[in-house]
Each structure stands twice: as structure tokens, then as C-alpha cells.
């Protein structure tokens, strides 16, 4: 979990225990408690979908190779199982070596794909968490939210207190706006 999520969680808990009861007692008619699922907002966003599609396209050949290797490994294992008693020791050893080589190649490819995915995720969070923070700050002010809880820390919440869908809509709009304003700058360079 990123530092922002951890900081938001700690801040919310401190606020919940120290400040919220006093604030709610003083302005109970105006004060609002809300819940946000930040991962939902970030990873269901249009930006996340676009980056996921780009990632799939960029690593399509590696994905195909992983699938091909898995098929070859299955076939080699089946051959060893079914034809093993009929093969010489050298033939069995050769099939075993081929299987192990394909397993190592598959493991290496999967490790590289996972590393690329993790790097892209971190880059995504560095880029888009500040936008989400701005969106949430605006919603907090607009709705007079005195306590914003992380959805993963809440057992139950009435749907009207969950601002995740609203935040997703605003986040998508903010990202689109940021991209539009960046596009003319890129054309000038």
C-alpha cells in the first residue's frame, strides 16, 4: 500500500478518535462522514484501463510466448508420462532437460512481465495519486465531510455515504482535463 493510503488511514483514525466526536457534536446537521475506496477509483478509472491496454499491447508477444511454453511443458510432461516406459534413459533425460529448460524460460518471462507490471503500477500511482488527492479535497469541501474513511477499513457503510463512484467520475474528468491541457503544450515543443 502506498504512503498516501497509509497516511490517509492514520489521519482518518486519529481524526475519528480525537476530532470527529467534537466536530459532530457541534455541527451534527452539517457534518458528513464518508467512505472512499481509493483503489477502486484509481484502478477502475479510464486512465488505468488505457494503461492496461497499452501494457497488454506492449507485452503481447511475451504473453504469447508464455502460453506457448506452458503448452510445450504440458506436452513434454505428457510424453514423459505416456511414453516414458518405452524410451531409453537418454531419451527420458533429454525430455526432462527440455522440460526444465522451458520451465526456466517461462519463469524468467513471467518474472520480467511481473516486474514490468509492478513498475508501471508504481509509475501510475506516482502520476495519478496527486490528481486523486485534489479530487478528494474538493469533494470533502463541497460535501462538508469531517471524516473520510478508507473503504478497506469499514465493515459496513450505507451506500449514500460511499463517495467512490462520485470520486471515480470526478477523477476521470480531472485526468481528461489534465491530458487536454497537456496536449497543446506537447504540440508546441
Task: Assess contact for 137 and 14: CB atoms under 8 A.
Answer: no
> In this predicted model, what pLDDT tens digit does every residue of 36-49 receive, in sequence order?
999 999 999 999 99
Task: Assess contact for 185 and 40: CB atoms under 8 A.
Answer: no
Q: pLDDT at position 119, please?
A: 94
Interval 6-16 mean pLDDT: 52
Burial zone of 66 (CB within 10 Å; 0-12 exposed, 13-18 middle, 19+ buried) = middle
Interval 85-113 mean pLDDT: 93
The residue that leads in pLDDT, 27 or 157, is 157
Interval 146-159 mean pLDDT: 92
Q: pLDDT at position 86, please?
A: 87
- Other Cβ atoms within 10 Å of 78 Cβ, number: 10
The residue that leads in pLDDT, 137 or 183, is 137
Q: Please, where are the H alpha helices in the chain?
A: 3-14, 20-26, 38-43, 46-58, 60-83, 89-142, 164-188
Q: Percent of the chain at pLDDT above 90?
A: 67
Question: Residue 52's closest CA among 62, 44, 41?
Answer: 44
- pTM equals 0.69
Interval 112-122 mean pLDDT: 93
The residue with cell 516406459 is 85
Interval 83-95 mean pLDDT: 88
What is the pLDDT of the chain when averaged over all its residues?
86
User: Is a pLDDT exceeding 70 seen at residue 16?
Assistant: no
Interval 142-155 mean pLDDT: 93
Task: Assess contact for 163 and 38: CB atoms under 8 A.
Answer: no
Q: How many Å apart are CA 153 and CA 60, to the nearest integer?
A: 37
Amino acid at each position: 500500500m502506498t504512503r498516501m493510503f497509509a497516511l490517509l488511514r492514520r489521519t482518518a483514525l486519529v481524526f475519528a478518535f480525537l476530532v470527529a466526536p467534537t466536530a459532530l457534536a457541534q455541527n451534527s446537521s452539517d457534518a458528513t462522514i464518508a467512505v472512499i475506496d481509493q483503489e477502486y477509483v484509481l484502478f477502475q478509472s479510464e486512465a488505468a484501463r488505457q494503461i492496461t491496454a497499452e501494457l497488454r499491447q506492449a507485452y503481447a508477444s511475451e504473453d504469447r510466448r508464455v502460453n506457448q511454453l506452458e503448452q510445450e511443458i504440458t506436452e513434454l510432461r505428457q510424453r514423459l508420462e505416456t511414453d516414458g516406459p518405452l524410451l531409453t534413459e537418454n531419451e527420458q533425460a533429454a525430455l526432462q532437460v527440455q522440460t526444465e529448460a522451458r520451465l526456466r524460460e517461462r519463469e524468467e518471462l513471467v518474472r520480467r512481465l511481473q516486474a514490468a507490471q509492478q513498475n508501471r503500477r508504481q509509475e501510475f500511482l506516482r502520476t495519478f495519486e496527486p490528481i486523486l488527492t485534489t479530487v478528494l479535497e474538493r469533494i470533502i469541501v463541497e460535501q462538508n465531510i469531517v471524516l473520510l474513511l478508507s473503504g478497506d477499513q469499514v465493515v459496513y457503510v450505507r451506500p449514500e455515504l460511499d463517495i467512490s463512484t462520485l470520486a471515480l467520475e470526478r477523477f476521470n474528468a480531472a485526468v481528461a482535463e489534465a491530458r487536454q491541457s497537456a496536449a497543446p503544450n506537447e504540440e508546441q515543443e
